[in-house]
Amino acid sequence: MELYQLEYFLEAARQRNFTRAAEQLHLAQAALSEQMRKLERELGTPLFHRAKRETTLTAAGELLRSHAESLLTQAARAKQAVQDLVTLRGGRLSIGAIPSVSAMLLPEAIAAFRREHPQVELALAEDTSRQVAQWVESGRVELGIVQLPTQGGSFHETLLFRERFVVLAPQSHPLANLRRVRLTDLAQEGFVVFKGRVRDTVHTACRAAGFEPRTVCESGELETIRSLVAAGLGIAILPELATHALPAGCTRLRLTAPSVTRRVALLQRKQHALSPAALAFRNLLRGLPLVQNPARKSPPAG
């Protein structure tokens, strides 16, 4: 059963005459009659009471008419939805991101995307790099912004930028009088730790410098980390983008000898073509000044 056969059937039912229906459809009457016979053979029952002057529906024909109207309406809606998706007049785009990047990077990108494509629904979910990568792999989100490296999965990675880590310290701390500190200077400090790949990077760097960081508190919320540092609970080592808005009582220091850096990338599933909305967002994101020069909007340490 083809959609065009259902369209022919409905026109014949409306006109109650094959000749008039064929004229409306710009078909030869013989072609219309043949399509209706094919439909009847497929369904195994007559659909029309055929008479010289008027053609009416059988009980089976009446039943088919109600379903045919619904099917054609749904098909038209599906076609329109696909056209809206392709032309960015509709559809939905889901993005996953790590909080330490999304707060600084995504507001500008999302605002620009909404200005250009206001009819596309955009959903943002935040979590750790591991969780965002899992969302990409499962298809829950189409694009993910994470800290590299990813573990497992089949992804296409597009490097967005590299950034350095800095030290946050309470303004009452002796370190607050310095503009920069060495990693080994922090060996005796208590660490307020940000969960996720940031924690892994910091712990790896500390161990390479010869000490095991002493964790006094751990949180997955950046605002909580910054507030705890300002309250004097300990120091924190965070990516520079995560330190753009500091509470009173908190200061930023340059970290040296060695410096600690990370790479931030955009993930998409391999062998899965991106939707038009995802392609547009990816291109927009890669063109942002902050992506091309992440230090441009990061306040200087010190």
What is the band of 294 on the pLDDT scale with cuts at 50, 70, 90? low
pLDDT at 215 over 80: yes
Per-residue model confidence (pLDDT) at position 290: 64
Tokens read off for 290? 């902050």
Q: What is the pLDDT of residues 152-207, one digit of tens each?
A: 778 899 999 999 999 999 999 999 888 889 999 999 999 999 988 899 999 999 99
Q: What is the pLDDT of residues 18-64, one digit of tens each?
A: 999 999 999 999 999 999 999 999 999 999 999 888 999 999 999 99
Average the pLDDT over 86-92 and give the result.
Answer: 78
Residues 261 and 238: beta-carbon distance below 8 Å:
no
Q: Are 140 and 212 contained in the same domain?
A: no
pLDDT at 250 over 60: yes
Q: Are 183 and 257 contained in the same domain?
A: yes
- Nearest 5°: the CA angle 264, 265, 270 is 160
Interatomic CA distance for residues 104 and 124, integer angstroms: 14
Q: What is the pLDDT of residues 125-154, one digit of tens each?
A: 999 899 999 999 988 999 999 999 887 778
Q: Are 150 and 35 contained in the same domain?
A: no
Per-residue model confidence (pLDDT) at position 94: 93
**Strands 236-239 and 250-256, bridge-based pairing:** unpaired
| H helix and E strand count, the chain | 10, 12
| Domain extent at residue 43 | 3-86
What is the band of 238 on the pLDDT scale with cuts at 50, 70, 90? very high
Interatomic CA distance for residues 255 and 291, integer angstroms: 22
Q: Are 102 and 236 contained in the same domain?
A: no
Q: Are 23 and 33 contained in the same domain?
A: yes
Per-residue model confidence (pLDDT) at position 228: 95
Domains contained in the chain, number: 3
Interatomic CA distance for residues 266 and 281, integer angstroms: 11
Tokens read off for 157? 């990675």
Interatomic CA distance for residues 25 and 31, integer angstroms: 11
Q: Would residue 207 count as lying in a domain?
A: yes
Q: Are 168 and 102 contained in the same domain?
A: no
Strand stretches in the chain, DSSP E: 48-50, 55-57, 92-97, 121-126, 143-147, 155-170, 180-182, 190-194, 214-219, 236-239, 250-256, 261-269
Interatomic CA distance for residues 210 and 19, integer angstroms: 92
Per-residue model confidence (pLDDT) at position 179: 85
